[in-house]
Amino acid sequence: MKKTVIKGADVLGRGRSDLLIADGRLVETGRLDIADAEVVDADGLVALPGLVDLHTHLRQPGYEESETVLSGSQAAAKGGYTAVCAMANSTPVADSPAVVEQVADLGRRAGYVDVQPIGAVSQGLEGRRLAEMGEMAQSQARVRMFSDDGKCVNDPLLMRRALEYAASVDGLIAQHAEESRLTEGSQMHEGAVSARLGMVGWPEVAETSIIARDVLLAEYLDARVHFCHVSTRRSAEIIAAAKKRGVAVTAEVCPHHLILTDHAAQGYDPVFKVNPPLRENDDVEALRSALADGTIDAVATDHAPHSAENKDCEWNAARPGMLGLETALSIAVEALGGPEDVDWNLVAERTSRTPARIAGLRAHGHDFDIGAEANLTLVDPGGRWTVYGNELSSLSTNTPYAGMELPVTVNATFLRGNATVRNGQLTEAMGEN
């Protein structure tokens, strides 16, 4: 029986403890001296439940020049993740059992994180007819989240049917909230900066109008709706009011919406082009507060790798999106108070426990429960690192943080007791290859 003892970790920032892992599960905590176990020195490190990402673009099948399930899984492990939810906008679209099972199988073969496919809401992401939601739920991939992310489910009747269908399989709809008629031709946030630069703006009402509509639909149908990459103060206010009424609504925020503003577009560097766009400082402050008080449930990366061909071009031609998996924890810690003042329990809630519950990933997000799968992350709270795109594990380099020094480093990541990252470096994973 393989045994590993993690010695002297600060477990969730609550106190030092040893953690004994045997056959992939946590079996004992406390002060331990196990003669036949591998020892991992965790002195000075914080142990967190493995991070869970609700919003990852792995680009396979179809865009393997930008990312593969393997390279994306490696980037996730380096970022402290033990599970990621893979968005459906691949080619072919993940709108059938065959494609979601392919993605899940590629994840198992890679072996660095658990890859949970998200199924499309509509066939081909075209917003006309429902995808094979029931079949995907019954498939070996056991899909429970459905999303047309990148495109909004604009048709209210289709959204109603999707919410009803998802509820019937104990699932939920993850909505990319964007009223497309209001964003036609848009290139960035609509405000003073877009006016000065002469770019067509993406108004916040395009997001808030869809969120308000879908809150009412979810309330009427007693269904679950999750809002992807919430980006505005007003969106957070609508979600807070919905939660106060007891509507089954959850929401995520992306790291870049917690730290960057539309002023980043002033240099016309397309690395800062995202959808929804970077907003104003007032929105950033509101989103940070909403994340801290639980109005926004989770940090999700919207990890969106793009090849140089699609990103190293003029702003108008560039595709929206940026990398996020390896930098998300650092940005989340910064947004929640900085490494010296951060509440690690709150970090665990927003990056692991709650996203695991939303996605229905029962093997993840545990607080070191005896008998649970040993999916965990060791973090150096005093570590600092400088971001270089070509040193990240993704096949793409479109990070907005290039050259920046960020707080907190991931020392180790364990998936079912096996180290996928050790001393900050990838190990050979235990996939099914």
Half-sphere exposure of 405 toward its Cβ, with a 13 Å CA cutoff?
3
CB 40 within 8 A of CB 4: yes
Residue 15's Cβ-count burial label (10 Å; 0-12, 13-18, 19+) is exposed
The pLDDT assigned to 13 comes to 78
Residue 7 CA: distances (Å) to CA of 31, 60, 414: 8, 38, 14
Amino acid (1-letter code) at residue 101? E
In the prediction, which pLDDT does 34 show?
Answer: 86
Residue 240, exposed/middle/buried by CB under 10 A (0-12, 13-18, 19+)? middle
pLDDT of 433: 63
DSSP 156-217: HHHHHHHHHHHHHTT-EEEE----GGGGTT--EESSHHHHHHTPPEE-THHHHHHHHHHHHH
The pLDDT tens digits of the residues spanning 356-401 come to 999 999 999 998 999 999 999 999 999 999 999 999 999 999 999 9
Q: Which of 121, 125, 104, 122 is nearest to 113 (CA)?
A: 104
What backbone phi and psi angles, to 5 degrees, belong to 383? -75, 150
d(CA 240, CA 251) in angstroms, rounded, equals 10
Q: Which residues of the chain have pLDDT under 50?
A: none
Catalytic residue status for 302: yes
**Which one of 10, 214, 297, 302 is the catalytic residue?**
302
The residue among 337, 328, 225, 238 whose CA lies nearest residue 288 is 337
DSSP three-state, residue 279: coil
Q: What is the pLDDT of residue 2?
A: 86
> What whole-number distance in Å separates Cα of residue 378 and Cα of residue 80?
8
360: left (phi over 0), alpha (psi -120 to 50) or beta: left
Half-sphere exposure of 293 (CA within 13 A, CB side): 13
